[in-house]
Chains A and B, each alone.
Chain A
């Protein structure tokens, strides 16, 4: 009895410790970004594109990267949804559940989730060369979509799996086919979870630097076409941090702060939206 009690305490302590490690690293990151970035944050940062010599400490802002990141991550998320949702629905509604093919698919997506983003970047780059494309918004969108698709599929898959079998049966019993059941019942029932999947994928996409380094290029202008190169916030941060001028490095942290705030706003918006959409979900 005594021993079991001690065991219990040790494990409780360990869990508490790991929670603290995670939480404090998050707090530390946020604090660092805040402390180092806030003094350099200005209206010009978010309303102007870089002027000549911006990277040497002269005036301007990173509007190009803010807009570029939104274009890029938005486009990639859109593309990824178009491909991921059908896959997740196929795995759960159309295929015989837990067939070998389905497990093979799930395993493949799990492996793809673990592939480093630079590999997706390199892969995207190869494809672009094959088609004779230059580094562009479109190239970046494709690379990021490839990167976030496996996660999006797997997390959508997990939430769709939770839809009760009987709910689908209820729809079938009314004479609905699989397509109608998938679209009108399964998607609606798992909509909050699907939104979370999309949001996480978006966050991952907007924050990634390695996949866009070859594929999206970098520019000081806001892209006017899919075939123009595009700047992204992670790369803007990377370039600014590499400059040995304190002013520019400070702006790097300010850029990181902007990226964090953007993700925060989008998360909150999505949460609000999902609250509105959950009212029909059957518990």
Chain B
């Protein structure tokens, strides 16, 4: 394939101490689609996701080899400036972690860091991205209240707006709905589907039905190995590998 995708993983190996968590992963993540990384717990899903924006750096005793290219730049290169890589990606964690400040300041946090000081522009940005995360109508009256006063579902949408406000091209989600009630989960899923027109989205999920509902492309990991990847329809209906078949049937978890 000549065409270079936003994120391209080449021979990625990750060790935590003596344990090898990811074994020689090579993978292109398709642009402007939702890619779901699935697999049983402890298979390295989150590690793979966190290697995309190098949050993996803060894990104790981690050793990484191989290359992760984001827009043709090897982000694992120690010379790469990591804040600029991270600016390209919004991240949603399992549990929403709003920053200890107001709703407005949460969304404005990223843009301010990256140098936007003009109050008018910040106002626009905050409104635009809260709307994009479909939170605006619920919070426009209390934009200066602490973010911690929102419900968990709203907090997760706030975290999405906050991530979008740095204008990334990629959105990473590490089981972004696992702490939410079904209704809030649904809203997040909907928002993701709307966003895929403009963004490359990668989510880790252990909920197969969620992957079925949302994903265009599926990556199946098992015990640190990339077993199979391909368009969602193929993976769910005609898996090539026996392991994938068993996992999709719910025989292994």
Answer yes or no: B200 CB below 8 A from chain A CBs. no
Is the CB–CB distance between B86 and A170 below 8 Å? no
How long is the Cα–Cα vector from A188 to B100 in the complex, in angstroms?
6
Please judge, given known A-B contacts A97-B60, A177-B83, whether A170 and B97 are in contact too, CB under 8 Å.
yes
Answer yes or no: A173 CB below 8 A from chain B CBs. yes
Please judge, given known A-B contacts A280-B102, A282-B97, whether A170 and B159 are in contact too, CB under 8 Å.
yes
List B52-90 residues whose CB lies under 8 Å from chain A.
53, 55, 58, 60, 83-84, 86-87, 89-90
Answer yes or no: A119 CB below 8 A from chain B CBs. no
List B90-109 residues whose CB lies under 8 Å from chain A.
90-91, 93, 95, 97-102, 109
How many residues of B are counted as interface, with CB atoms below 8 angstroms from the partner's CB atoms? 30
Quick check: which of A29-37, A67-75, A161-169 contacts chain B, the rest being far away? Answer: A161-169
List A116-146 residues whose CB lies under 8 Å from chain B.
none
Answer yes or no: B114 CB below 8 A from chain A CBs. yes
Residue from B93, B100, B101, B113 within 8 A of A174 (CB atoms): B113
Is the CB–CB distance between A171 and B55 below 8 Å? no
Please judge, given known A-B contacts A165-B58, A169-B58, whether A174 and B162 are in contact too, CB under 8 Å.
yes
Answer yes or no: B166 CB below 8 A from chain A CBs. yes
- Closest Cβ of chain A to B157, distance in Å, is 14
Answer yes or no: A27 CB below 8 A from chain B CBs. no
Residue from A171, A175, A188, A281 within 8 A of B114 (CB atoms): A175
Is the CB–CB distance between A170 and B99 below 8 Å? yes
Answer yes or no: B135 CB below 8 A from chain A CBs. no
Please judge, given known A-B contacts A98-B60, A173-B90, whether A185 and B100 are in contact too, CB under 8 Å.
yes
Is the CB–CB distance between A174 and B109 below 8 Å? yes
Answer yes or no: B110 CB below 8 A from chain A CBs. yes
Most buried by B among A165, A172, A177, A283: A172
Residues of chain B lying within 8 A (CB to CB) of residue A97: 60
Residues of chain B lying within 8 A (CB to CB) of residue A283: 148
Is the CB–CB distance between B87 and A174 below 8 Å? yes
Residues of chain A lying within 8 A (CB to CB) of residue B100: 167, 185, 188-189, 280-282
Please judge, given known A-B contacts A166-B93, A170-B93, A180-B113, whether A282 and B86 are in contact too, CB under 8 Å.
no
Residue from B60, B86, B101 within 8 A of A175 (CB atoms): B86
How long is the Cα–Cα vector from A282 to B98 in the complex, in angstroms?
7
**Chain B residue nearest to A175 in the complex (CB):** B87
Answer yes or no: A12 CB below 8 A from chain B CBs. no
Answer yes or no: B133 CB below 8 A from chain A CBs. no
Residues of chain A lying within 8 A (CB to CB) of residue B163: 173-174
Most buried by B among A169, A174, A185, A282: A174
Residue from A176, A180, A279 within 8 A of B146 (CB atoms): A279
Answer yes or no: A9 CB below 8 A from chain B CBs. no
Is the CB–CB distance between A174 and B166 below 8 Å? yes
Answer yes or no: B147 CB below 8 A from chain A CBs. yes
Most buried by B among A175, A177, A280: A175
Residues of chain B lying within 8 A (CB to CB) of residue A173: 53, 55, 86, 89-91, 163
Residues of chain A lying within 8 A (CB to CB) of residue B84: 175
Residues of chain A lying within 8 A (CB to CB) of residue B97: 164, 166-167, 169-170, 282
A binding-site residues for B, Cβ under 8 Å: 96-98, 164-167, 169-177, 180, 184-185, 188-189, 279-283
B binding-site residues for A, Cβ under 8 Å: 53, 55, 58, 60, 83-84, 86-87, 89-91, 93, 95, 97-102, 109-110, 113-114, 146-148, 159, 162-163, 166
Cβ contacts A to B, 5 pairs, < 8 Å = A172-B86, A173-B89, A180-B113, A280-B101, A282-B147
